[in-house]
Amino acid sequence: MMTRSSTLVVGAGIFGVTAAIELRRRGHRVQLLDPGPLPHPLAASTDISKAVRMDYGSDDDYTKLVLESFPIWRQWNQDYGATLYHEPGVMFAIHEPLESRPFEYESYRRALAHGFNPVRLNPGEFRRRFPAWNADYYVDGYYNPVGGYVQSGKVVSALVARAQKLGVELYEGQTFDRFIENGSRVGGVIAKDGSRFEADTVVVAAGSWTPHIMPWMAPYFRSNGMPVFWLKPADPDPFTPPRFVGFGADITVTGYYGFPLHPEQGVVKIANHGLGRQMHPESPERVVTQEETDKLREFLRYTFPALVDAPMIYTRVCLYCDTWDGHFWIAPDPAREGLVVATGGSGHGLKFAPMLGPIIADAVEGKVNAYSHKFRWRPEAQGVRNEEEARYKG
C-alpha cells in the first residue's frame, strides 16, 4: 500500500475508528489515539445496543444514508463472523392519530415512498403483535420491518481489530493535551505524558470531549447527558422478537425509546433522548438521578405494565456531542490548516458506521460527496435548536 500522507485521528469511538480504517484503505499512514480502554467506557459508542433505522421524519438525507448503510451492516455480520447487526424491525407508537405527529407521520410516508412496507398499527394490532404494550393507551403508530439495532460495544471492538489488521497504528492509553501548532497550521498532537504525534492532518473525533479540548468549538456543541436503563423482565417472552422490537414511544413528546430483550445480557434497555443535562464527560455528576428513575417508572406504568416493578440491573448516563441543529459536523477547520473535526450528534452516529469513514476521509482529502453540504463547517449553527425536529436522533 503506497503511503500518500499521514493522518492522526484523536478518538477511537465510532467516528474515529471508521475514519482510521477508510483513510488507511486509501493509502494514508494512520495513527489512532485514545485514552482507552477500548471501547472507552465513557464514550457514546460504548453500550450493548444502538438503533439502526431509516425513520428520520422529513429528513431524507439521513434516511438515504441509513439505506446505504443497511447492506454493509449485513455484510459486516458475515465479514466479522458474528451477528453485530440484528434486524427485527422498529416501531413507533403514539396515543394520538399518526397524522397529528409530524415526525412519525413523515417517517411512515417516506418509508412508503422508498418502496418499503411499514405496517400501520391500531389497538388490535398492538394486542396481537406486540402484547407487552398497553394498547388502551397507544392507539396508533407503525411497524417498519426494515431496521433494528447493533451490539455497539462489540462493533467498536471489531472495527478496532480491523483497523490494526490493516496497519493503523493504535496508541491506546494516550490522552490528548494540546495541538502541535506552527502559526495557523496544526501539525500533530502532544499527549498528556508529553509524547508527540506528528502528522500532515489531525482528525478530532473526540465525541463529547470535543468542546472541552477545543474551546473555540464550545458555541457549536453541547455535551449532553441522557439516562439509560437496563431492566430485567420477570417473563422475557413478551419482550423478545418478534413480539417486541426496537421502539420510539411518543418519542417527540416523551423522548423514550428502547430495544428488545438483549440476546446476551437478557435485559430490556430503555433510554431517554431530550435536551439532557450539560456536563463534562468525566463529571462526577454523570450518574442517573432519582428524578430520572421516577420518570422512567411512570412511563413504564402506562406503557409496559409488566416492567413497572422489574429489577433495574444497570444505569448509565450516555453523553452525546450535540450540535445545535442536530446534524454531524465533518469538515476542515477554516482557521487551522491541517485540522478536521468529525463529530456532532454522536448519539445517533453509530447507525451510520458503514458510511462515516468515507465521509470523514473525503473531508480529509478535500473531496465533495452527497453529504458534504449538510455536515459542512457552519458557524451560523448556534443557539437553541428546534427540539421537535431534533429530539429523536438517538
pLDDT at 45: 81
| CA distances to 227, 283, 307, 315, 391 from 311, in Å | 16, 27, 8, 11, 28
Q: What is the DSSP letter of 13?
A: S
Helix orientation angle between 14-25 and 152-166, rounded to the nearest 10 degrees: 30
pLDDT at 383: 67
pLDDT at 4: 62
User: By the 8 A CB rule, do 9 and 20 touch?
Assistant: yes
pLDDT at 346: 54
d(CA 50, CA 358): 21
Can you list the domains of the chain with their CATH numbers? 6-45+153-220+324-390 (3.50.50.60), 70-145+222-322 (3.30.9.10)
pLDDT at 184: 95
Dig out the grid coordinates for 308 from the structure: 413497572
Q: What's the average pLDDT block by block, 10 residues per block, for the chain (394 residues)?
A: 77 96 98 96 89 95 96 97 97 97 97 97 97 98 98 96 98 98 97 98 96 93 93 98 98 96 97 90 95 97 98 95 90 98 80 97 98 95 56 45
Q: According to DSSP H, which parts of the chain are helical?
A: 14-25, 60-79, 102-113, 123-129, 152-166, 210-213, 251-254, 290-303, 353-365, 387-390
